[in-house]
Every structure is written in C-alpha cells, then in structure tokens.
Structure 1
C-alpha cells in the first residue's frame, strides 16, 4: 500500500511540473494563462456581435472615474486592486494570448450588461512597457476601423487599445458619439492615458464621396504635438501609393479639430494623431494591411514615458 501511494504521488508531481509546449516550437514555454485566440478576430467580433446592436446608457461621473481608475491601477501593476475597483461597476479583466504573435493582453470589459450599457473595452499589452494608445471611437459606424486599431495594437509592442462600445448614433442626443463628448467611459480612459503622457492615434473612416481625391487624411487634431509622427505616417502612406491629405500643410476635410480627445491631448502637450481612411481602403484586405503597417511605423517612434509602466 505504501509503495502504491508513493507511485501515485510521483505521478501527480510529474503532471504538475510538466511544461506547456509552444505550438510552434519543441522548446518548453511558460504556461499559458487565460485564452489563446486571434486578437483581431476577437475585437472585430465584439464590433459585429455587440457594438452593432448595443444600446447606450450614459455613465455617471462615479462610473466614469471608477473605470478610468481601474485601468490606471492595472497599468501600475496593482492588478488585484484594479480588479476590485472595476468590479464596483461590473467590469472585469480577462487575460488573452494572441495566437498570431504570442503576446498577452488584458481585456477590460463590461461583464454584466455590455450590450445594454455600450461602454466599450480596453486592451493592454502585458509583454512590453506601455508607450502609446490606439483609439477607436466609432466602431461599426466607421466600418473596419476596429480592425485597423487591432492591427496597430498587434503590430507595435506597448499599446493600449480603447474601443467604444456602441454605434455613434446609439442613445439620445449623440450621447454615444464619444469622439465629441467628455462624459463617456471612452473619454475618461483616454484622459487617464493622457495624464500618463501616453501619445495616442485615433482611427476613423470616411465615405469615398466625402473627399474623392484622398485615400487618407492625417492630422494632429486641435494641436501640433505629434507632428513628427504624423509626418512619418503621411510619408509612409504616400510612399505606398496612397493619396494623403496632410492637415498641417493643406486644407483638409475631417481634420479632427473639434475632437475631444485630441483637444485634451493638446491642452496637456501630449502627441496625438487623428487619421481618417476612405471606405475603399478600409474594405480592402490588402490596403488595410498596408495602412496598418504605416501606422505601426509611426507609433514605433513613440517611446515609453518614464512614469508609464505595466506590471508583468
């Protein structure tokens, strides 16, 4: 009986310490945590399955501040505190690993009434110091903008992606048009990121008829911070054959001068890029991939602020 018990214990120990093998390698890797999935499909699915039909309930000040504070705590590596803070408004955290790149992300989202409240999601890269944000204020309304944002998050280490949770026309009185309001979860989270000196790129889309001569409009929004990276983006797009309107040197439509997140960044001297892509560009898989590469090239120039860090 004693020898049988010893054998069972040894077998159990073997099971516990056996490493997880990476799917693309014969070498052992760290054990997986959370879910392994395609990050871009996850975010696109959120837009298609939830955002497209979601309602919108305007959040109160306490709710806005609570989510923003939870994101801030998570960025500081105080994860237990962050989860407790977020739980106060029925938000939670799920750890994902992108099967395309193998990178881990924290998904912060409504765990109770996502399709009713329409407050959106936040994704944080867990495998690099945070150094920039990608903002998608009009998923579905600006079709495929959420896929472009996901592509930048995946393509450049150190990103935080903020995605609105409802169509811009949801709710009453443009309440869900988060790019033009300051009383939303989206804006509160972006304000938290600006307070941490994180540069941001905000992705939009326009109808081809709005500006027929252009495939893209690149701007620094209300201010001039981020000009160097905006020039890098415009040059990368133009070198790849895209017709670009540069708002700092031409009169461009859709330059985002009244964009609330851009104004906030300008007031604090934080770099901000407002970029619009035509529907033809967004609907083409090949062109979408190329504009993501151009945006990734631009955000790669942003370095992590000394005070911005992610606990890992």
Structure 2
C-alpha cells in the first residue's frame, strides 16, 4: 500500500513537471515567433513585434558627436510635422504618402513588454552611411494620443531615451519624440534641437503644442552641476504647467528624490531658453522641463521610480480632452 502511494506521488510529480515545462515552452515560442505579445494578445498580421527599449537603444546607440546630422529645409520640417498631424487625425494613408516623399517610413509595431500597439515614424536614412538625423516618433495606437514625452539629447544626456520609453509605457495616449542625432553631431549647435527652431524635432513638438497636447521634456545633468539634487523640475519659459510641476515635484519627493523646484528658487539648468517650451507657452499649453542626475538615468529602480512619479501627471493628461 505504501509502495503504491509512493508510485502515485512520483507519477503526479512527473506530470506536473511536464505540464510546467510545456507552459514555459509555449510562452517562449510566443515570444520568439511573433505569434503573441507579452501581454498575451495575438499580434495582428503585418504588425512587427518589438521590444521598444531595445529598439530605441539600437537606434540611439549609433549616435555620436561630429557626424550623423544634416540640417533640414523648411519644406522638410513643415511636411513631416503636418504628416504627424495627419496621423493624429486618422489620415494614415495621406500621412504615409507625405512622409514617404520626405524619405520617412511608417509602420505599426507591438511593444511586447507592454502589449501596446504603436505607430513608428522613422527616417529612412537612419541605416545609411550618412544619416540625416531627423529623428523618430512613436504614437500610441491603442488610445487617443493626448500628451508627449520628448527626448532632445539622446546619446548626450545618457539614459534619457530609455527613461522616455518608460514614461511612454507608463500612461495611455502618449507620443514619444526622439531627436535623431547626438547634440554635437552638427555644425555649431545645429543639432541641439532644444535650442533650435529649424529642426524636425521642434516642428513636430510645435505641432503637438498647437493641438493643445501637454509635454514633458527629459534632460540630464552632471552630478557636479547640482550635487544636492536628484531632479531639477521647471516649467520652462511659461507657467501653464505650474500645477503639474508642483504635483510632479511632490510625486518625485514621495519616491525618495531631492527636487529643485525652479518656480520656488533659483535652480541650475531651468530650461528658460528651451524653444519647445517657448512654443508651448505661446499656445498656453503645459510644458515641463525636467533634468535628472546620472543616478536616476542609469536605469534600474531609480529610473522606475522616476517614471512612476511622472506617470501620476501623464495619466491625468491622458484623461483630459485635447483641443482640435
């Protein structure tokens, strides 16, 4: 009787192990064959499954000073920005045609870790020997786009591009706008998109502001620039985002960060000359200019806590109607 019970227990244990192994293999196959995203939903035909963090890392990892940027003409900037507007208006075919004329591609992707569908707008020259460096945009397809997270200095303010991915994943309705070159890639400051109005990055951000979409722009500072702080929060050139700024500073403090509030005291790197902030102010749209220390931008728990604090603001933005 005891031997029979032992055999039954052994067989049950083996069956349980086999079932567990089968489940693990099923998940692994789903992740590698593109059949389902990590949220368990089937990936529609023609939709590319990606890991957005890895995609952005591969993209920005090629950036460097002294190369990879060509200044766009006015027609380039206006056409690309207006095409982004067409995508927001649901006019995808027209947007694709206009973007194609400017050597940009449009595709639908699924970010497997979040399960969210996105429209990717990318410069065709990114993989060329001499890329133009005009940037990339990701728009949330599963929710009505209503706010933006902007990364003007990828590869220079290290880690801001990955923080941008975390912020996009943290709330519905986001648009991630990434500059296409290192800050020092062009002649003079031509690739410093935070301080130039003649860039594709600025044209896109200005179009979003014109549509009433609030934005948060991510920057990084050297530890020696503000040794007493982890974050420097500012509303840039305007004051429309002061309520959100106070809420964000409180949320960041609640997550254990020391925050310098530029509307309360003099802080370094307040972003008063930021041109996207000026455009938002002209349209009376909330804009937040946020600088992070190297520790926060390095990833891991500090970056997760920072993104969680930002999500308290972006979720509120997502719930508000956007003007046409």
Bucket of the pairwise TM-score, normalised by the shorter protein: 0.7 to 0.9
Instruction: Report deviation, 1:306.
Output: 4.1
Partner of 1:261: 276
3-state secondary structure, aligned to 1:105 = strand
Question: What are structure 1's unaligned runs of at least 5 residues?
Answer: 1-19
User: CA offset at residue 23 of structure 1?
Assistant: 5.8
Corresponding residue of 1:279: 294
Determine if contact 1:53/1:166 at 8 Å carries over to the other structure.
no
- Aligned counterparts, 1:91-106, within 5 A: 91-106=104-119
1:106-255 pair list within 5 angstroms: 106-113=119-126, 116-255=131-270
Q: Deviations over 1:138-188 (max 9, x none)?
A: 001000000001111111110011100111111111000000000000000
Q: 1:240 to 1:62 in 2, by over 3 A?
A: same
Tell me, what secondary structure is at the counterpart of 2:272?
Answer: coil
Residue 85 of structure 2 is aligned to residue 72 of structure 1: yes
Aligned residues: 288
| Pairwise CA distance, 1:49 | 2.9
Unaligned runs of 5+ residues in structure 2 are 1-33
In the alignment, the residues of structure 1 paired with residue 43 and residue 120 of structure 2 have an alpha-carbon distance, to the nearest angstrom, of 20
Q: Scaled by the length of structure 1, what TM-score is found? A: 0.88
1:292-303 to 2 correspondences below 5 Å: 292-302=307-317, 303=319
Q: Give the structure 1 partner of residue 47 of structure 2.
A: 34
Bigger radius of gyration, 1 or 2? 2
Note the alpha carbon deviations across 1:179-226, whole angstroms, 9 max, x for none: 000000000000110111000000000000000000000111101111
- 1:226 & 1:269 partners in 2: Cα distance? 9
